[in-house]
Structure 1
Amino acid sequence: MATSLRLLPALLAVALVGCSAAALPDLKPPVPSAWRNAQASSVAAPAADLHDWWHAFHDPQLNALVDRALQGNLDLAQAAERVRAARLLNRHSHDDYLPKLNADTNDVINPDTTASYFIVGFDALWELPLFGVWQNSGRIAKGNLDAADADLHGARVSLVAEVARRWIELRSAQRQAQLLDDACQARREKLRLLKVREQLKLVSPDDVAAATADVARAEAALTGPQQAINANAQQLAVLLGQNEPDPQWLQPGGVQPELGHWQLTSVPADLLRTQPQI
């Protein structure tokens, strides 16, 4: 009996150790403090702010399109609501392991008698968070919150990147169409002059036929940029929740967005972490 009493503290200590939560492994891999292949100019430069990176184009129309997309996108709104829900669940993740007190009343009336009964009852419940349940429930709730935050960030990054890409490709296609149209006008003028020279017997009909073929090829080349303009404008309208593109987007003479002197100085690993698909 004395031996059993001496072993009792040791058994209790072992039981308490078994009820504790296991330590989580360190999931952050060791990385060097600096990128060894970076240029001297990029090391001294401050890190680029990628939160509002599209402002580096200095394009008011692009800024307005991104703002409209962020305000009206339903997928982004759903991701934001999931973050709010996960934040509330994280705040109340330990509520199941707190003492609970329930009370109820019941007014029993017998229609055959003149007497009635009023019953009051209550019960208490307290589930002890053994075996690390308290800590693990908090970890799960925090993990769900971090996952919801990551989903929201990924949705925002994807939306902004797609809007900027479609707008830049739209402007690029419009610029290409303008250049091809100028080339087509030059070939038409060349054909007109060759026809005049043909009437004066200064060139052969073969030269006129070759110029006519050049005009036909130049006109056929205009269809590619025009299709790209229509496709990018329609995709941009879908991203903004519109059925049809804004006629203002299709007006020729738009300015092609340029980055100017903006430089990305982040190391490759940090740049990869900004990609929502990774």
Structure 2
Amino acid sequence: MKRLDISWLTKPSLRSGMVLPLVVAGLTGCQTMDLSKQPTQPVKLPQSWQHGADFPQTQVNVDLAQWWSEFHDPVLTELIRDSLASNPDLKSAFSAVREARARRSIEKSGLLPTLNGVASASGSRSKDSSSSSTTYSSTEVYSAGLQASWEVDLFGKQQAAVAAAQADLASSVATRESVQASLTSEVALAYVTLRSAEARMKVVQENVKNFEQTYQLASWKEQAGQTDSLDAQQAKSNLEQLRSTLPSLEQTIGNAKNSLTLMAGKTPGALDKLLAKRSGKVPEPPRKLAVGIPADTVRQRPDVRSAGYSWLAAVYRTDAAEAEKMPSLTLSGSLGVDSDGLSKLLRPEQAAASVIAGLTAPIFDGGKIRSQIEVQSEQEEQAWQSYKSSVLTALSEVEDALIACQKNEQRAEITQRALQAAENAEQLARQSYEAGVEDIDTVLNTQRALLSIQEQVVTVQGDRSSSFVALYKALGGGWQR
């Protein structure tokens, strides 16, 4: 088995654009491992983000572990804290880590000898009728001892199995961190959905009042003979259409609340008192977010590290399969005593010891070992491709989130200008209608336009917050070592 330097897994290569970022120093506590082969196609990472011009670049951002505090929303912070403490999926991920740790201990035990204690007792009784009287005699035999056996790991098969179990443990830890990151982002996204729906509800309720006033004004004009009933019916139609959107928003609000309680591991309605605070206030993201270089970001992502450790585990299992071709040496020994009486059992002169060494090597197995090596090699290739896919996915998700943050900032500026113009137009149209200069169609059109822009403003606020949540997640935030 070759000794392979894998420091290239933990830091960017000196050659431009070449890196396979994976933090594996904790796997064995050193920078070298016994690996059977090295990937021939390392992952190529860009030097900078394609859409990161508006975001300052820094080293690994340690604040990502508590990124939600940047929104300065105490309700969101409490929701995430409760979810991290009570979410069933996260608890299951912690259990998986404990299971992987126990499996590693099982594999480590294979490197040590086994020692068993044995004890037995037997007796016999015989009858002698040769003399004039019948006599009986009995014999009692006691034995006790120790038996030991040890399969010497000549060619590293068991060491490879231990290393694979260690990599599995590291992968399960990273998976748990990935569950934490996903959970925090999902809670934040559901919270943004809730607050956006509540804000839209307030917009609709305020416009219902405006539409009611327009309908009342048209009714008064009809009663005064200034207009016919068409104006009043048009105003009433707009009013009822707007009211019809309220049930849908109420459903969205109810669903978002249920989603948050589910992620917090609670029953529906358990968080209503908490969620009643700050109702309708969409959390405001920070104006700017510092991002690291792609290599740092990929190393931060727990899902990428999990995939990398899974690949290492597959490599070690290939090594273990190849070691099956080599001979195996088993040492066994015993130390025991036999006596014809219990009182003599512990006398030194009764003791006897033996040591046996056995060497076995496979000669013919019908191709089983060769096929097993092929199976493990293909699983190794699949794990490597899965790792590469996780790296590319991470890069794509960050770029998507950067684009979303930039474009939502632009949308926010545009919709604010549109909102100001729509408010002015609606006010002028209403005044002109009251003065008899404009007809009802102008008022209704400007009211619908104002409503549409107001809803867009709320939507953009939610989208802007959601895009920053997505960026935090894509950068690998939401977990703590």
TM class by smaller structure: 0.7 to 0.9
Offset at residue 120 of structure 1 (A): 0.7
Equivalent residue, structure 2, for 1:43? 57
Equivalent residue, structure 2, for 1:160? 184
Assess, with a 3 A threshold, how the Cα gap between structure 1 residues 140 and 41 changes in structure 2: closer, same or farther: closer
- Contact 1:101 1:123 survives alignment (8 Å): yes
Deviating more after overlay: 170-179 vs 105-114: 105-114
Question: Any residues of structure 2 matched to 1:228-239 within 5 Å, and which?
Answer: 228-239=252-263
- Contact 2:197 2:252 survives alignment (8 Å): yes
Q: C-alpha distance in 2, partners of 1:81/1:187?
A: 57
Secondary structure of residue in 2 paired with 1:139: helix
Pick from 94, 105, 113: which aligns with 2:119? 105
Within the alignment, does 1:56 sit opposite 2:107 as a pair? Answer: no
Within the alignment, does 1:78 sit opposite 2:103 as a pair? Answer: no
Question: Any residues of structure 2 matched to 1:184-263 within 5 Å, and which?
Answer: 184-245=208-269, 246-248=271-273, 249=275, 253-263=279-289
- Contact 1:22 1:132 survives alignment (8 Å): no
Q: One-letter code of the match for 1:178?
A: K
Equivalent residue, structure 2, for 1:173? 197
Secondary structure of residue in 2 paired with 1:126: strand
Q: One-letter code of the match for 2:48?
A: W
4+ long deviations beyond 6 Å = none
Q: One-letter code of the match for 2:285?
A: L
Structure 1 unmatched ranges of 5 or more? 1-15
Assess, with a 3 A threshold, how the Cα gap between structure 1 residues 257 and 272 changes in structure 2: closer, same or farther: farther
Question: Any residues of structure 2 matched to 1:12-161 within 5 Å, and which?
Answer: 23-25=36-38, 29=42, 31=44, 34-35=47-48, 37=50, 38-39=52-53, 42-43=56-57, 47=61, 49-91=63-105, 93-109=107-123, 115-161=139-185
Q: TM-score, normalised by structure 2?
A: 0.48
- Contact 1:163 1:236 survives alignment (8 Å): yes
Assess, with a 3 A threshold, how the Cα gap between structure 1 residues 177 and 142 changes in structure 2: closer, same or farther: same
Offset at residue 110 of structure 1 (A): 5.2
- Contact 1:62 1:164 survives alignment (8 Å): yes
Q: C-alpha distance in 1, partners of 2:240/2:125?
A: 100
Offset at residue 271 of structure 1 (A): 6.3
Deviating more after overlay: 253-262 vs 152-161: 253-262
Within the alignment, does 1:274 sit opposite 2:301 as a pair? Answer: yes
When the two structures are aligned, how many residues end up with a matched partner?
260
Cα deviation code 1:199-236 (max 9, x no counterpart): 22222211111111110111112233222111111111
Give the number of the structure whose residues are more often strand, by fraction.
Answer: 2
Secondary structure of residue in 2 paired with 1:127: strand
Q: One-letter code of the match for 2:71?
A: F
Give percent identity, aligned residues only: 23
Offset at residue 95 of structure 1 (A): 2.2
Assess, with a 3 A threshold, how the Cα gap between structure 1 residues 44 and 123 changes in structure 2: closer, same or farther: closer
Q: CA RMSD in A?
A: 3.1
